[in-house]
Structure 1
């Protein structure tokens, strides 16, 4: 049985085979190719090259991510698709994040692409609701959000959280909102 991470990345590769790679995503300033270059970084960077990249970025992971995404977005599409399908990517776990962090990374970034392209989610519904639990469990702090007075309800799963003004949507758009993204409709959650 495939892991949720493998299913998500393979589904994204299938969706993007022939899709517009220069289309915007929910990640501000990143096109589809930048998001894919970012999530496939673990396939290309060994621990040694990651350390060198981190040192060059002054120890700032956000700077490293931007640098690598900008540089590696120009790799051939076939290479990036192959990296999305790579067992090395499917087995990767972020330092300090473990399997839960790998699942969250795959789900959130796949939604950055699928929602922006108005395509169905490629992440399994169970993975999206698990990520919703992680995001609300942190009370919005992971992405600097203020969840006070809000109730979230998924329209495609038996999932809800909170009390107050209702925010009702599919699991994918809820994950995107709780990850600090602005939806194509302009909807976003308040910042803390």
Structure 2
């Protein structure tokens, strides 16, 4: 996918996620997401922070919590507390068509953010949300090859397996074989064990143990 096609998927994901969020009850907004310790509301708030410039990043550093992960979580929760539900939805929807990533990352990291976090919201609520296989392949490849921002901790756990998609021409790595839909492979690469049940192959038991350590 070229950059324009990636941004098109990002825009579509933002609009469709806003539509999904429009229909949630207060209880669903408080529901745990796939991100440990994050509610659906926290994840939605995080997704409004996809166009941070230098001043925003300096402000973020002023709230440093000892690690990037803890700082990002803190900023998301502050945002979630400061914004109404309607404001969060409007901000996600308004990002569609704005093709400027946060300073220091590329459009592909922005793609991964919206693809994975939209599933973090939809899956635990039992709601359908499309994850295009071709875009998921671009994101998964980036998760394995990125050096900056630092790769997800799950990268170490899924390295050493041969992953191959059953719905698109994509594969990565060497080792025990693991097969499945590209959506499930991306979520697994991002450290979401919820998708392990959709995978097959001789490497699945070892991959399951690695992700659940």
Q: What TM-score bracket applies, with the shorter chain setting the length?
A: 0.7 to 0.9
The one-character-per-residue Cα deviations of 1:66-103 (angstroms, maximum 9, x if unpaired) are 22222222321111111111137842313222112211
Q: Show the 5 A alignment for 1:130-141.
A: 130-138=138-146
Higher relative contact order (CA 8 A, sep 6+): 1
> What is the distance in 2 between the residues matched to 1:21 and 1:162?
37
Long gaps (5+) in structure 2:
198-206
> What is the distance in 1 between the residues matched to 2:120 and 2:158?
21
Specify which of 3, 6, 10 is matched with residue 15 of structure 2: 10
Question: Paired residue for 1:66?
Answer: 73
Identify if the C-alpha distance between structure 1 residues 18 and 165 changes in structure 2 by more than 3 Å, giving closer, same or farther: same
Question: Paired residue for 1:143?
Answer: 152
> What is the distance in 2 between the residues matched to 1:58 and 1:16?
29
Question: Paired residue for 2:204?
Answer: none
What SS does structure 1 have at the residue aligned with 2:127?
coil
Consecutive aligned runs of 4 or more in structure 1 exceeding 4 Å deviation: 184-189
Aligned residues: 190
Long gaps (5+) in structure 1:
none
Q: Show the 5 A alignment for 1:95-134.
A: 95-134=103-142
TM-score (norm 2): 0.74
- Of stretches 152-161 and 76-85 in structure 1, the one that deviates more from structure 2 is 152-161
What SS does structure 1 have at the residue aligned with 2:162?
strand
Identify if the C-alpha distance between structure 1 residues 164 and 184 changes in structure 2 by more than 3 Å, giving closer, same or farther: closer
Identify if the C-alpha distance between structure 1 residues 137 and 93 changes in structure 2 by more than 3 Å, giving closer, same or farther: same
TM-score (norm 1): 0.81
Specify which of 182, 195, 202 is matched with residue 171 of structure 1: 182
Question: Paired residue for 1:190?
Answer: 210
- 8 Å CA contact 2:42–2:77 kept in 1: the answer is yes
Instruction: State whether structure 2 residue 33 is matched by structure 1 residue 25.
Output: yes
Give the drift of 1:46.
6.2
> What is the distance in 1 between the residues matched to 2:62 and 2:38?
23
Question: Paired residue for 2:202?
Answer: none
